[in-house]
Structure 1
Amino acid sequence: MSPFLTLLLSPVTLVAILLALTATLGILLITRSSSRRIADRLTELSPNVAGVSALSVGRRRFGALGQKLAATPLIGSNELVKVVAALADAGIRGQDKLGLFIATKTTLALGASVGCWLALQQLGMMPDGFGMQAVVEIGSALLGWRLPDVVVSRLAVRRRDMLRSGIADVLDLLVICVETGLGLEQALDRVSRDIAVANPVIAEELAKTVAEIRVLPQMRDAFDNFAKRSRLPAIKSVMTTLIQTIQYGTPLAQSLRVLSGDMRAHRMLEIEERAARLPVLLTIPLIMFILPCLFIVLGGPAVLQVMTSFKG
């Protein structure tokens, strides 16, 4: 039997499949919305959906395990603060999501360590000496531990891009709503519902801001919270302008129109900057792939003639 088939039929394959399923299930459970949690509560009351309720119970137990691990010194307070901040940047909030994330990281760390050990033993590549084996196991465990962080960081980057691209559209819609006679709170509520299909990320943030406006004593506190959650200079400047507009009583429609024009100009500058970087980025593939082929086509016949003349 070939080494490839031996590896394919070994326990390493089972461990790799379990790791992939654990990572996929963990990310899906973490990114579930609150509406799904309500649906799970309703399905638990129905006797015909035992499988779904069992999945919900398993998710809660998995998250409870992660919360217990987060409370131990194994995670550490500094690491826990970083994890909470990273999840918030990705739009994943809630104590249950933190528990699911910690449980997923721990499971992947242990699974990666065991899978690496089995793979190296199966292939006969396990290094000699306890020290090298410990380094390999610790490295594989750290890789599995940090893999969910990479996924969450990519989700955070995608979320920030959606916020950055959607704020200009929000300002345009706010101008229309304000000019028709709506107040700022009603305009934000209407825009959050209208833009939900095109940009659900910024619609969620706007809905949360509207809820905070209705609860907090001052409207500026809700705008400050929006700016802190987004961590984007563009949104921070927009929120600062709205606070100043409310404070000094300047015309809201005029301020929103000026903000919209500035945001469009800023987006155009970003597009021009990316276009200006394109020739520099194309230099590397040009040197690596196109120029060698060009040299072969142009210099190949001459090299062949020289080789033929030397043979003759």
Structure 2
Amino acid sequence: MDQLIDTLTGALGPFGPLIAVGLLGLFLVLIAISMIMAEKRDPLERLKRDTRLPSNAREVKEKLRTAQHNEKLERYANFLEPQDEDELAGMKLKLMQAGYRGKDSVRYFHFAQFAGGIGLLVLGVAYFVMFVQGEQTTMQQTILYILGPGALGYMFPKYWVTKRMQTRQEALTNGFPDALDMMLVCVEAGQSMEQSIIRVGKEVRPSCADLADELDIVANEMKAGKDKSTVLNDMSERCGSQDISSFVTVMNQSQAFGTPMSDALRVYSAEMRDKRVMRAEEAANKLPTKMTLATMMLTVPPLLIILVGPSVHGITQLGNM
């Protein structure tokens, strides 16, 4: 044992045994996870499924299952998905609002976190061993260079999804007033709600592709026979924008009370235009405040140097005389 410790110390430095134990533990954890995730099908369940379904129904069901989920990720579903239903629903909603509507989006997200954390952890260990490790290396530096990249790789997917969600909500909010004006024109021209949504989705795609995708989903769900209020509520949930949520509320109330939809759209589109102007004015009013600090830091020091510099130089010359 002493010879092994001396060998590791000579090869990897004073923290050689610690690094070797950490890598061994990581290897054992990966093996344990792979063994746990290797699910075995119950023979009784397979027998029940074979006796209940005819051959063609089994083939159809298998095709539908493979079309909805990734076979490689299906084995690790218990590991790549939260077991709490509320947490799973919240993660699905967040990814949906970020624009990731796939069936395996939650699994891909957790796989990205796991792969990023493990990959950067290994790279951090390799970089520490080859370039940083030495006799003067402290434990704090060791933890920083090894665990820091791993934590960064684990947190980056979450930061990416949050940033993507904010960017998408901002794009939907900015593009919605123009879409609402076009929808009002279509409705007043005699088109139905479904036809106007299809037309507006085609028109706004060059300027706001995210909003066009949402309108296409709404149009397809309405064509499939889904209830209009349910479709609009689902759209509001997917978008996560307050303006779109208010629009859905107005449309549902107009349908419930039997008021003309064109009147509701006219009033709400005017409100959206005023709200967009107010947001632009608010951003313009914030600009001088944001520029004050930069202006002081970049303007005042050179001005002081120009004004006070000659006097300071003259005083130093008099002192030398």
Alignment match, 1:90: 98
Contact kept? 2:232, 2:248, Cα under 8 Å: yes
Aligned match for 1:71, one of 78, 83, 101: 78
Q: Could you tell me which amino acid in structure 1 is paired with residue 291 of structure 2?
A: L
Query: Is 2:313 the counterpart of 1:290?
Result: no
1:173 matched to 2:182: yes
Q: Distance in 1 between the 2:197 and 2:211 partners?
A: 11
Question: How many aligned positions are there?
Answer: 250
Following the alignment from structure 2 to structure 1, what is the Cα–Cα distance between the partners of residues 282 and 247? 22
Asked if structure 2 preserves the Cα contact closer than 8 Å seen for 1:164 and 1:232, the reply is yes
Q: CA deviation at 1:128?
A: 4.2
Determine which of 222, 229, 237 is the counterpart of 1:228.
237
Relative to structure 1, the CA distance from residue 296 to residue 66 in structure 2 (aligned partners, 3 Å threshold; closer, same or farther) is farther
SS in 2 for 1:264: helix
CA displacement at 1:266 relative to structure 2:
0.3
Q: Which residue number corresponds to residue 130 of structure 2?
A: 122
- Whether the aligned pair in 1 keeps the contact of 2:113 and 2:154 (CA below 8 Å) is yes
Cα distance in 1 between the residues matched to 2:113 and 2:189? 50
Structure 2 distance, partners of 1:248, 1:145, is 50
Corresponding position: 1:107 with 2:111? no
Q: Give distance in 2, aligned partners of 1:269 and 1:278.
A: 14
Question: Aligned match of 1:194 in 182, 203, 206?
Answer: 203
Aligned-partner residue type, residue 265 of structure 1: D
**Residues 158/65 of structure 1: CA separation in 2 closer, same or farther (3 Å cut):** same
Q: Which deviations, in whole Å up to 9, do the C-alpha atoms of 1:4-60 show, x marking residues without a partner? A: xxxxxxxxxxxxxxxxxxxxxxxxxxxxxxxxxxxxxxxxxxxxxxxxxxxxxxxx9
Output one character per residue of 1:55-104: Cα deviation in whole Å (capped at 9) or x when no partner.
Answer: xxxxx9xx655554452289664765554333112110122333333332
Cα distance in structure 2, aligned partners of 1:74 and 1:157: 23
Question: For residues 74 and 276 of structure 1, what CA distance do their matches in structure 2 show?
Answer: 45
Contact 1:70–1:102 (CA under 8 A) maintained in structure 2:
no
Equivalent residue number for residue 284 of structure 2: 275
CA contact (8 A) 1:65 1:103 kept: no
Query: SS of 2:106's equivalent?
Result: helix
The aligned counterpart of 1:148 is 157
Choose 1 or 2 for highest CA Rg.
2
The answer for unaligned runs of 5 or more in structure 2 is 1-66
Partner Cα distance (2:141, 2:82) in 1: 25
**Measured at CA, do residues 290 and 76 of structure 1 come closer, stay the same or move farther in structure 2, by a change above 3 Å?**
farther
1:66/1:101 contact within 8 Å kept: no
CA distance in 1, matches of 2:91, 2:133: 35
Question: 1:174–1:187: 8 Å Cα contact kept in structure 2?
Answer: yes
Distance 1:144 1:161, change over 3 A: same
User: 2:271 & 2:243 partners in 1: Cα distance?
Assistant: 10
- What is the root-mean-square deviation of aligned Cα atoms in Å? 2.5
CA distance in structure 2 between the partners assigned to 1:224 and 1:80 by the alignment:
20
The 3-state SS of whatever aligns with 2:79 is: coil
Distance in 1, Cα, partners of 2:108 & 2:286: 40
Number of the residue aligned with 1:162? 171
Separation in structure 2 between the aligned mates of residue 285 and residue 112 of structure 1, nearest angstrom: 36
**Partner residue in 2 for 1:139:** 148
Runs of 5+ consecutive residues of structure 1 not aligned to the other structure: 1-59
- Report the Cα offset of residue 159 of structure 1: 0.7
Name the structure 1 match of 2:221. Answer: 212
SS in 2 for 1:72: helix
Residue aligning to 2:40: none
Residue of structure 1 in register with 2:311 after alignment? 302
> How far off is 1:133 after superposition?
4.0
The equivalences for 1:19-30 within 5 A come to none
- CA gap 1:280/1:148 in 2 versus in 1, 3 angstroms: same
CA distance in 2, matches of 1:97, 1:237: 28
Say if 1:108 and 1:257 are closer, same or farther in 2 by CA, change over 3 A: same
Whole-Å separation in 2 of the counterparts to 1:133 and 1:124: 9
The alignment's TM-score, normalised by the length of structure 2, stands at 0.70
